[in-house]
């Protein structure tokens, strides 16, 4: 697949030439578009580009889409009040709730909405909320209003009464982003996109005819257009292409998750204006009915994978949580996590840069920050326009199928649906994760569709996300993955290569 000139360029780099990726079976032509990074942006883009007659590939170094920053966020589809009018962020986030709602229907994905209450504890915070209110109206939002303390107390009886000012807004979306990245990729694949996982891009070069040469740890590819959607690693991808001017600045947010048994304690997303207009503290319901508390104070991470949560950080967000809800159910805290967000030097401070690289219009960057999930439909539209401007011919396929069959979920199914499903396949009634009520059939389906690790199965099915955090169901899930993949249990990983779960499965396996 690699031309003679490509081989020369790669051979001149310090790493030896790896063995080729198995032939795609399509033909030996270059790809039209290769997307680097299967986070929410890359996955959404692959799905949208799969509408067109293109030879398309989506590459990610992880074994499943959506396991980068996309996995570690607050996961709200925010209304347009956090984005300064005129900013790229504001433009990309217009109408996102409508787009997510439509996609949820097409792809059989869960999408929920909650209303939000912004509260301030002092004059400075009140000014920040007023600024956001002004931004909301300037960005075309209509359902924002100042509300009284009494109204807040009626809506959220457990909330503190110590605040001085509050604003109410309607219909903020909620999703589980890794599940979305997985489903978007599945639909892209069904429409002809090639998805290369566990494939790390190591080098890039542009041949004299403009074709991009992509060196990966599994072999080499050629492509006419390249999209850099590599999230926290987008600067490295830019450097590989010879663009040394891209810099990312990283900060860290920490979250705590409370068990779904206390979900009735809070029905709204409650935001406290933070130190500045970009960072806030939040507490609200999650897509799956838990309570999430977090963001806290952002810190500089040690490196791009520094997502450990320290005791100090956890104490800090709990302190902050008690400020919002004095009887915070601390005994029901079940887990915590951190996510790293990046901003970049090509955009105005805290804004997105979605545009051509400095080296060629055929290499396009998606350098984004929060709220990148909210902005992903707009970002996708913009990248498609940029591809067209750069000369890519976009011809729609007559047979594009926008639909994906909604997967069976025991927890959400009615009694009738459960009975039918169990009659078809008894595994639909065999509960593996009791906390989240996930059946064996759901885990099998996730593995058959591409989940490879315990973390991967968890992000798609929720198995292991409940109160016991996989303490009881973990070995069962491991055993099902091994059985479905036809590999020894010792080869099953927690989250990708190097995180194998057990050394001697026979010692625990006998009891299962
Ligand atoms: C704490 C926190 C809270 C947030 N809350 C929200 C929120 O509520 N709402 C919202 O809209 N946004 C939120 N965001 C922002 C949002 O999560 C991100 O903007 C978005 O997920 C970024 O998606 P992405 O696809 O660009 O990047 P990623 O999800 O990081 O995807 C990039 C992918 O590229 C792959 N990759 C990297 N390098 C290579 C390589 N060399 N070869 C192959 N693959 C590679 C990675 O494996 C990864 O899968 C939050 C962010 C943080 C940190």
Q: What's the gap in Å between 109 CA and the centre of ligand 1?
A: 20
Contacts of 244 (CB under 8 A, 6+ apart): 238
Which tokens belong to 93?
A: 């986030």
Q: Do residues 65 and 176 touch, judged by C-beta distance below 8 A?
A: no
Rounded distance between C-alpha atoms, residue 237 and residue 116, angstroms = 37
Q: What's the gap in Å between 207 CA and the centre of ligand 1?
A: 30
CA distances from 243 to 93, 236, 247, 359, 363 (A): 28, 9, 10, 6, 11
DSSP string spanning 360-400? -TTEEEEE--SSHHHHHHHHHHHHHHHHHHTT----B-TT-
Cβ atoms within 10 Å of 217's Cβ, excluding its own: 13
Which tokens belong to 317?
A: 């967000």
Measured N-to-C along each axis, helices 474-485 and 454-461 cross at an angle, to the nearest 10 degrees, of 100
Rounded distance between C-alpha atoms, residue 248 and residue 304, angstroms = 10
Which CATH topology does 112-174+250-338 take? D-Amino Acid Oxidase; Chain A, domain 2 (3.30.9)
Q: Is 227 in the pocket of ligand 1 (CB under 6 A)?
A: no
CA 47 to chain centre: 15
**Tokens 């690790």, residue located:** 453
Q: Whose CA is nearest to atom 18 of ligand 1?
A: 372
Rounded distance between C-alpha atoms, residue 219 and residue 202, angstroms = 10
Q: Is 201 in the pocket of ligand 1 (CB under 6 A)?
A: yes
Q: Whose CA is nearest to atom 48 of ligand 1?
A: 68
CA 350 to chain centre: 19
Helix H segments across 298-449?
Answer: 311-324, 372-389, 415-424, 440-448
Query: Would you state the pLDDT for residue 361?
Result: 96
Query: Would you state the pLDDT for residue 416?
Result: 97
Q: Is 229 in the pocket of ligand 1 (CB under 6 A)?
A: yes
Q: Is 374 in the pocket of ligand 1 (CB under 6 A)?
A: yes
Rounded distance between C-alpha atoms, residue 87 and residue 78, angstroms = 15
Q: Do residues 205 and 15 touch, judged by C-beta distance below 8 A?
A: no
DSSP string spanning 50-78? TTBS--EEEE-SSSSTT-SGGGSS--EE-
pTM (2 d.p.): 0.93
Alpha carbons within 13 angstroms on the beta-carbon side of residue 176 total: 17
Architecture of domain 4-69+178-247+347-389: 3-Layer(bba) Sandwich (3.50)
Q: Do residues 95 and 79 touch, judged by C-beta distance below 8 A?
A: no
Rounded distance between C-alpha atoms, residue 91 and residue 266, angstroms = 31
The 3-state DSSP composition of the chain as helix, strand, coil percent (nearest 5) reads 35, 25, 40
Which tokens belong to 331?
A: 């005994």
Q: Do residues 221 and 19 touch, judged by C-beta distance below 8 A?
A: no
Q: What angle do CA 134, 139, 144 make, to 5 degrees?
A: 55
Query: Would you state the pLDDT for residue 132?
Result: 92
Which ligand 1 atom sits nearest the alpha carbon of residue 236?
41
Given a cut of 50, the residues of the chain with pLDDT beneath it are 1-19, 23-27, 277-278
What ranges do the domains of the chain cover?
Answer: 4-69+178-247+347-389, 112-174+250-338, 410-509
**Tokens 């100090």, residue located:** 312
Q: Is 378 in the pocket of ligand 1 (CB under 6 A)?
A: no
| DSSP SS3 for 108 | coil
């Amino acid at each position: 697949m690699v031309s003679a000139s490509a081989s020369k360029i790669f051979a001149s780099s310090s790493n030896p030439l790896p063995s080729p990726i198995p032939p795609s079976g399509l033909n030996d032509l270059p790809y039209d578009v290769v997307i680097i990074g299967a986070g929410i942006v890359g996955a959404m883009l692959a799905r949208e580009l799969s509408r067109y007659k293109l030879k398309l590939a989506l590459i990610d170094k992880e074994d499943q889409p959506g396991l980068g920053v996309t996995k570690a966020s607050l996961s709200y589809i925010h209304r347009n009040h956090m984005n300064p009018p005129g900013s790229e962020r504001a433009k990309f986030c217009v109408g996102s709730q409508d787009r997510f709602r439509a996609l949820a229907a097409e792809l059989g994905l869960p999408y929920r909405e909650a209303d939000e209450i912004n509260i301030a504890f002092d004059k400075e915070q009140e000014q920040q909320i007023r600024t956001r209110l002004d931004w909301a109206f300037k960005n075309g939002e209509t359902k924002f209003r100042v509300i009284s303390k009494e109204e807040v107390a009626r809506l959220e009886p457990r909330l503190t009464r110590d605040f001085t000012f509050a604003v109410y807004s309607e219909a903020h979306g909620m999703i589980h982003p890794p599940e979305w990245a997985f489903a978007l990729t599945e639909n892209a694949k069904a429409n002809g996109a090639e998805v290369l996982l566990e494939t790390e891009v190591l080098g890039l070069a542009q041949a004299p005819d403009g074709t991009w040469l992509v060196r990966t740890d599994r072999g080499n590819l050629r492509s006419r257009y390249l999209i850099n959607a590599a999230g926290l690693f987008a600067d490295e991808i830019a450097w590989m292409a010879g663009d040394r001017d891209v810099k990312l600045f990283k900060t860290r947010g920490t979250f705590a998750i409370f068990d779904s048994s206390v979900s009735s304690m809070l029905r709204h997303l409650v935001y406290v204006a933070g130190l500045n207009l970009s960072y806030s503290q939040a507490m609200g319901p999650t897509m799956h009915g838990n309570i999430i508390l977090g963001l806290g104070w952002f810190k500089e991470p040690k490196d791009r994978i520094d997502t450990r949560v320290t005791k100090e950080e956890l104490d800090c967000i709990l302190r902050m949580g008690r400020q919002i809800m004095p009887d915070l159910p601390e005994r029901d805290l079940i887990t915590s996590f951190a996510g790293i967000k990046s901003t970049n030097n090509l955009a105005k401070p805290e804004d997105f840069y979605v545009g051509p690289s400095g080296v060629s219009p055929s290499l396009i960057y998606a350098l984004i920050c929060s709220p990148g999930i909210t902005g992903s439909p707009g970002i996708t539209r913009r990248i498609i326009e940029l591809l067209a401007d750069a000369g890519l011919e976009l011809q729609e396929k007559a047979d594009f199928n926008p639909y994906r069959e909604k997967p069976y979920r025991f927890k959400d199914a009615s009694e009738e649906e459960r009975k039918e499903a169990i009659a078809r396949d008894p595994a639909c009634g065999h509960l593996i994760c009791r906390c989240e009520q996930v059946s064996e059939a759901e885990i099998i389906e996730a593995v058959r569709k591409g989940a490879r690790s315990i973390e991967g199965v968890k992000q798609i099915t929720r198995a292991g996300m409940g109160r016991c955090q996989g303490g009881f169901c973990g070995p069962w899930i491991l055993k099902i993955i091994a059985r479905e993949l036809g590999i020894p249990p010792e080869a099953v990983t927690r989250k990708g290569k190097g995180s194998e779960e057990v050394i001697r499965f026979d010692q625990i396996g006998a009891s299962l």
